[in-house]
């Protein structure tokens, strides 16, 4: 129906005239030709109703001159010629065009609505990150997702020699019986229908209930709309609500652990890591679908119960990207990395930001990029404070490694390349 209406309204005007009665059209055509010939024969551009005399027509044109009876018939037929209104044709065209635009609008709206509905189920193309150091600050390192301490939560002492996991800064200190936690209520951090990774250092004290580490909840009883990461039965446990994964390794109290949870939207996998090693994995896991809700660190809602953490939490990192197992292992095991490259030779390029200090050194060509050149003086050194886990590893039988490139001077008789000491 739409095609026929468009076809009729879009016909050239000459086709409309061709539908007139043949006899009438021929008479009208003869009249026009006659007048045209008269004008051309006069070779003048004057009106066809002029009274100026005209020369006699040739014999072969006289057959076009109507008789008196034919003229009467012509006059009668002129009043009977059906008039095809231009406005009628235009109305048809307007109606056809309007109908076309209406249908195109409907199709466009349908496409837009369909696109809008599908974008909610597509992994985000932009990576969003937050990092909370808890070094006596509630600020996110990117100054976007800043939080607040709940119920007088605090930090570890700055003078601690074994807390946090590394000596740089402090850690979040939480007491479960006081319902203490850290809250990020605005802006909303969207973890729905996307990959994401959560990492943290934890040190927990004995407790009979679950320990809430991280949570975000829109609906505590709706499938895949309430996300919580906790310690349950001394193991890591993660759940999107009716979509859970439990770790396999027992977590001891009074020890620092690096924990990580990765959800891979592309592969539909949930993965738990403990100290950089994969602890559990689940395939065919539906994505988290919560569209609102605050972030809680140190507490998590599981159905109608809110579980609080008892102990220390430090260096919480959150990003909308599925980190690889290599990245997780590096974050868990690399304490510091110093490239000694210009212009910031003392900056730590590792995950913990343990920047050092130097004295009486020079920059030189190195094995890789630049190197730090030490002069033969007691005041020439590079020093880092806070790597407590080396001595902890020695006293508790934990493995650790140290690697560096050296180029000794030719006339050097003795010297120390690395010294490690502690104050306790």
Provide the domain count of the chain. 3
Whether 11 maps to a domain, the answer reads: no
The pLDDT value recorded for residue 162 is 57
Average pLDDT over residues 13-20: 42
Q: How far apart are CA 289 and CA 158, in angstroms?
A: 39
Domain termination site, one of 266, 297, 323: 323
Whether 186 maps to a domain, the answer reads: yes
Mean residue pLDDT across the chain: 77
135 contacts: CB under 8 Å, gap ≥ 6: 155, 168, 169, 170
Q: For residue 411, what pLDDT band results from cuts at 50, 70 and 90?
A: low
Q: For residue 99, what pLDDT band results from cuts at 50, 70 and 90?
A: low
Whether 58 maps to a domain, the answer reads: yes
* Same domain, residue pair 315 and 201: yes
Q: How far apart are CA 273 and CA 281, in angstroms?
A: 9
Q: How far apart are CA 73 and CA 80, in angstroms?
A: 11
The pLDDT value recorded for residue 410 is 56
Give the phi and the psi of residue 412 in degrees, each rounded to 5. Answer: -80, 125
Domain termination site, one of 80, 97, 123: 80
The sign of the CA dihedral 57, 63, 64, 68 is positive
Whether 106 maps to a domain, the answer reads: no
* Same domain, residue pair 420 and 345: yes
* Same domain, residue pair 244 and 360: no
Helix (H) or strand (E) holding 27: helix 22-42
What angle is formed at CA 223 by the lines to CA 221 and CA 224, rounded to 5 degrees?
115
* Same domain, residue pair 152 and 286: yes
Answer yes or no: are the C-beta atoms of 383 and 357 closer than 8 Å: yes
pLDDT in tens, 32-69: 434 434 444 444 444 333 344 444 444 444 444 455 55
The pLDDT value recorded for residue 351 is 86
Answer yes or no: are the C-beta atoms of 180 and 306 closer than 8 Å: no
Whether 111 maps to a domain, the answer reads: no
The pLDDT value recorded for residue 345 is 93
pLDDT in tens, 290-317: 999 999 999 999 999 999 999 999 999 9
pLDDT in tens, 360-369: 988 999 999 9
The pLDDT value recorded for residue 123 is 52
CATH, residue 307: 2.60.120.200
The pLDDT value recorded for residue 295 is 98
Average pLDDT over residues 367-396: 81
The pLDDT value recorded for residue 337 is 94
What angle is formed at CA 293 by the lines to CA 284 and CA 190, rounded to 5 degrees?
55
Domain termination site, one of 323, 343, 361: 323
pLDDT in tens, 196-248: 999 999 999 887 789 999 999 999 999 999 999 999 999 999 999 999 999 99
Specify the DSSP class assigned to residue 158: T
- Which segment, 95-109, 153-167, 357-371, is predicted with the most confidence on average? 357-371
Q: List the domain range (segments joined by +) for residue 400.
A: 334-424
The pLDDT value recorded for residue 207 is 77
Q: At what angle do helices 22-42 and 68-80 cross, to 10 degrees?
A: 120
* Same domain, residue pair 44 and 192: no
* Same domain, residue pair 227 and 313: yes
Q: For residue 421, what pLDDT band results from cuts at 50, 70 and 90?
A: low
The pLDDT value recorded for residue 386 is 78
- State yes or no: pLDDT of 131 exceeds 70: yes
The pLDDT value recorded for residue 288 is 97
pLDDT in tens, 318-332: 999 999 999 999 999
* Same domain, residue pair 24 and 167: no
What angle is formed at CA 280 by the lines to CA 274 and CA 281, rounded to 5 degrees?
130
The pLDDT value recorded for residue 392 is 66
Coil, strand or helix at 105:
helix
Select from 297, 150, 103, 331 the least CA-distant residue to 216: 297
Q: How far apart are CA 46 and CA 39, in angstroms?
A: 7
Q: At what angle do helices 86-119 and 2-9 cross, to 10 degrees?
A: 140
Whole-structure pTM value? 0.68
* Same domain, residue pair 393 and 338: yes
Average pLDDT over residues 125-138: 93
Reported as half-sphere exposure (CB side, CA atoms, 13 A), residue 96 has a value of 17
* Same domain, residue pair 257 and 352: no
Q: For residue 388, what pLDDT band results from cuts at 50, 70 and 90?
A: confident
Q: How far apart are CA 182 and CA 314, in angstroms?
A: 12
Whether 227 maps to a domain, the answer reads: yes
Q: For residue 73, what pLDDT band results from cuts at 50, 70 and 90?
A: very low
* Same domain, residue pair 160 and 281: yes
* Same domain, residue pair 34 and 55: yes
Neighbours of 414 (CB within 10 A): 4
- State yes or no: pLDDT of 133 exceeds 70: yes
State the burial class of residue 334 (Cβ atoms within 10 Å of its Cβ: 0-12, 13-18, 19+): middle
335 contacts: CB under 8 Å, gap ≥ 6: 166, 350, 352, 354, 387, 389, 390
Whether 180 maps to a domain, the answer reads: yes
Reported as half-sphere exposure (CB side, CA atoms, 13 A), residue 106 has a value of 5
Average pLDDT over residues 160-179: 81
* Cis ω before 164 (30° cut-off from 0): yes
* Same domain, residue pair 271 and 411: no
Whether 113 maps to a domain, the answer reads: no
């Amino acid at each position: 129906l739409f095609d026929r209406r468009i076809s009729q309204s879009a016909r050239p005007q000459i086709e409309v005239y061709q539908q007139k009665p043949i006899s009438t059209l021929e008479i009208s055509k003869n009249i026009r030709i006659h007048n045209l010939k008269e004008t051309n024969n006069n070779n003048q551009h004057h009106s066809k109703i002029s009274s100026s005399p005209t020369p006699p027509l040739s014999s072969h044109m006289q057959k076009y001159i109507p008789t008196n009876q034919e003229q009467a018939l012509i006059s009668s037929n002129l009043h009977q010629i059906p008039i095809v209104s231009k406005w009628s044709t235009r109305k048809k065209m307007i109606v056809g065009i309007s109908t076309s635009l209406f249908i195109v609008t409907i199709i466009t709206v349908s496409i837009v609505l369909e696109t809008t509905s599908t974008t909610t189920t597509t992994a985000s193309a932009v990576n969003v990150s937050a990092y909370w150091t808890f070094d006596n600050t509630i600020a996110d390192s990117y100054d976007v997702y800043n939080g607040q301490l709940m119920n007088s939560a605090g930090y570890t002492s700055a003078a601690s020699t074994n807390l946090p996991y590394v000596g740089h800064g402090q850690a979040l200190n939480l007491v479960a019986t006081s319902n203490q936690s850290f809250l990020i209520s605005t802006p909303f951090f969207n973890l729905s229908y996307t990959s994401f990774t959560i990492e943290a250092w934890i040190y927990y004290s004995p407790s009979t209930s679950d320990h809430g580490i991280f949570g975000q909840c829109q609906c505590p009883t709706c499938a895949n709309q309430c996300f919580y990461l906790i310690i349950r039965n001394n193991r890591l446990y993660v759940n999107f609500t009716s979509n859970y994964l439990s770790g396999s390794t027992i977590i001891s109290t009074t020890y620092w652990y690096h924990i990580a949870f990765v959800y891979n939207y592309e592969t539909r996998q949930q993965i738990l890591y403990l100290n950089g090693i994969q602890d559990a994995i689940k395939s065919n896991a539906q994505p988290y679908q919560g569209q609102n809700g605050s972030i809680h660190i140190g507490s998590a809602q599981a159905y109608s119960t809110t579980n609080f953490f008892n102990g220390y939490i430090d260096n919480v990192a959150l990003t909308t990207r599925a980190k690889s197992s290599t990245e997780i292992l590096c974050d868990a095991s690399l304490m510091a990395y110093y490239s000694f490259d210009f212009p910031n030779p003392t900056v730590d390029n590792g995950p913990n930001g343990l920047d050092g200090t130097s004295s009486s050194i020079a920059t030189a060509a190195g094995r890789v990029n630049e190197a730090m050149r030490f002069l033969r003086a007691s005041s020439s050194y590079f020093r880092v404070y806070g790597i407590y886990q080396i001595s902890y590893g020695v006293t508790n039988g934990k493995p650790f490694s140290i690697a560096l490139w050296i180029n000794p001077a030719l006339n050097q008789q003795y010297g120390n390349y690395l010294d490690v000491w502690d104050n306790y």
